[in-house]
Chain A
Amino acid sequence: MSHPATAISSVKLAWALSWAAFWTGFPFKVIVALLLLAAQVHPWEGAGLIALLAVSVPIDIWALGLTARTFFLERMGIEVRGPVGVGLWWQGAALGAGMMGIAYYTVGAVAAVCQKAAAATFVAVKKIIPVPIAEQITIELLMWAVPATVAIIVFLLIWLKLFGWRIKRFAVASGQTSSASLQERVREWDNWRVPADSVLMLVSFTGVAVLLTVVFWVLLPVTTPHPHEDYPLPKLAAPKKPVKPEELLKKTETTLVKAEAVLESLEADKAKEKKKPAGKGK
């Protein structure tokens, strides 16, 4: 009797596991990325990228292990002893890294060649008939994007085929059927994944969500961290010293009193000068 793992195609097997694992791990990675962004650390470069990768690797291992165990049990009726995630993850990652490297240059080359061919085609065509720019853009896009997309799909299929082949070998080497009925094993695994106390699960989830929200708001910049380069907010002139009417009145009154005193002394001096005898010295 053939092993249940051999009945499924490698591509389908790898796709089922990697697609489910990606979405299982994605929310956790987004949490990390979001907290980094709130702390104004870019998760796509430098320390942010290193931090995100450092967190992503264990998340991916856990997610792949979880989805693989579920798939093996529910679709193939086999249980796998020992760590599943690590065993599969390093193989998928190694194959992915190699394939991505080759695909990066190949797809880039395909796109570049096709773009040049499209441009040359339009130069030749335009000598015969005029082609409006909007139509030219769409046709040129199709002329290079379709071959590039086909190349990406081919590389993806090759990666899935190779990864699926490794998963099958892993399942054949480590998987075993147990004496318990399939229904019982599925229920057991299901109960392990979904706690019987759903309320406790929801309360825990809410607690973690509240904690993360508090951390997020603490880290979040109060004012925009991205002021626009071309349209800066016009800086307002510094406000003038506020006018205090009572002080101003007092100051004015004091000035007037002083001015009055000066005026009086001047008038007194003038009066003294007038009182002096006019014929003195004659």
Chain B
Amino acid sequence: MKRKGKGVPLGSFLERVVAFVDERVGLKTLQAKMLNEPIPGGSRWAYVFGSCLLFIFIMQAVTGVLLMFYYIPSADHAYASTQFIIHEVDYGWFILSYHFWGSSAMVVMVFAHMSQVFLWGAYKTPREMIWLIGLGLFGIVMAFGFTGYLLPWDQRAYWATTVGVEIMDKTPIVGDFLARSLKGGPTPGQMTLSRFFVIHVMILPAALMGLAGLHLFLFRSAGPAGPFRGTPEELKAKTDFFFPRQVWKDIVAMATVFMTICALAFIEPVQLLEQATPDPGDYHPEPEWYFLFLFQMLRWKIFSGEFGQFVAATAIPGAFMLLLAALPFFDRSPERNIFKRPVALLSWTVVMLGILVLTVSAILNREFLD
């Protein structure tokens, strides 16, 4: 065999490098395990949401690290450093806008992924643990959005956090403790910013990586659920491997998501309002768009007063999350076809339409107040 430097072809050199690494870490076994996963019923576009979520998270991590090179998490400098990122740093406006829209894309994708799993009945035995870990990941994604929203330290950020913490305060027993722990004082200030920053860049990413790893491990252990239609024989006949068809679909979906986020960053880039102050002035405080439905519900007369606010802000969302967590344990029917599960289909439709109608109502209400 020719030695390197004496005309060894590049392909042969790469093969030797791969063989060297493979001998030590089992690269080919790992590759085979990752790519040769059998998918019952073959590849589907419906299965791309999980991969897209992972992709969005990686991009959020990359853009987040780039932003941290310039961002200063202090009440005195957070606003100015964000302005500096937008106006002075090369491509800073784009990186920040991508990060902003990426967070919204993550929430949308979590909803899409959870909806797909729910409608496909993929939470049923033996995938209960995957579903529960997925609910935890959903909570982490929402927490990411909530903590990240404060960091630019403008009026929108300040008041969205104030409203969010007030909603949290309605939780009985632990609400006051949680709200005070997050704020670090009677009103949002330096302590709040520091705590939100640490939670956003250290605690939540670590939690998400851990839970996402567990989620994937459990998913690979149980295997994909496959389509809800077709006999076991038909599904077996159509079974395909993860590579290349599902990989191709995932790549196309990720590229589409990436380009859509880029397009949104261009069309509506991040623009700061005035620097945060405890006086809202003309600004009408409201949370991020994905909490607007809850915010609008809190405006209803029926939910006015201490008890009403508790019901709308804590009891209903809490009960809903508990219901979702308990779902695989009381829905023991092996039937997965959504068209043969009318209660599930109706519930999903009502919840989605309810969120949509309340979110649009909140936007109309904002226009009315303005």
Contacts and interface: CB of A to CB of B under 8 A. Distances in A.
Given A27-B256, A132-B301, A194-B245, A37 B266 contact: yes
Interface string B292-316: 0000100111000000000000000
A133 B91 contact: no
Contacts of A27: 252, 255-256, 259
B197 interface: no
B263 A33 contact: yes
Interface string B247-263: 01001100110011011
Interface in A198-248: 198, 201-202, 205, 209, 216, 220-228, 231, 233
A135 interface: yes
Contacts of B370: none
B87 A138 contact: no
B269 A224 contact: yes
Most chain-A CB neighbours within 10 Å: which of B83, B92, B244, B245? B244
B300 A132 contact: yes
A222 B87 contact: no
A76 B92 CA distance: 53
B365 interface: yes
Contacts of B234: none
A259 interface: no
A209 to B, nearest CB: 7
A135 B299 CA distance: 8
Contacts of B301: 132, 134-135
Given A132-B301, A142-B357, A30 B260 contact: yes
A220 B91 contact: yes
Interface string B357-370: 11011001100100
A231 B271 contact: yes
Interface string A139-163: 0011001000000000000000000
Contacts of A145: 357, 360
Given A141-B357, A194-B245, A223-B93, A228 B271 contact: yes
Given A132-B300, A224-B269, A30 B256 contact: yes
Contacts of B252: 27
Given A30-B259, A31-B259, A133-B368, A138 B357 contact: yes
Q: Which of B86, B255, B361 counts the most chain A CB atoms within 10 A? A: B361
A23 B262 CA distance: 18
B278 to A, nearest CB: 19
A47 interface: no
Interface in B113-159: none
B361 A205 contact: no
A38 interface: yes
B272 interface: yes
A33 B261 CA distance: 12
A230 to B, nearest CB: 8
B90 interface: yes
Given A34-B263, A142-B357, A228-B271, A134 B91 contact: no
A263 B166 CA distance: 77
A134 B271 contact: no
A145 B360 CA distance: 11
Interface string B88-106: 1011111000000000000
A137 interface: yes
B273 interface: yes
A37 B98 CA distance: 14
A90 interface: no
Contacts of A202: 244
A26 interface: yes
Contacts of B368: 133, 137
B335 interface: no
19 contacts: A23-B45, A26-B256, A27-B252, A30-B256, A132-B301, A134-B299, A135-B300, A137-B368, A138-B358, A142-B357, A194-B248, A198-B244, A205-B251, A220-B91, A221-B94, A225-B93, A231-B271, A233-B83, A233-B87
Interface of B: 45, 83, 86-88, 90-94, 243-245, 248, 251-252, 255-256, 259-260, 262-263, 266-267, 269, 271-274, 296, 299-301, 357-358, 360-361, 364-365, 368
Interface of A: 23, 26-27, 30-31, 33-34, 37-38, 132-135, 137-138, 141-142, 145, 194, 198, 201-202, 205, 209, 216, 220-228, 231, 233
9 A-B pairs with the lowest CB-CB distances in the bound complex, closest first:
A224-B93, A134-B299, A37-B266, A198-B244, A228-B271, A30-B259, A138-B361, A132-B301, A27-B256
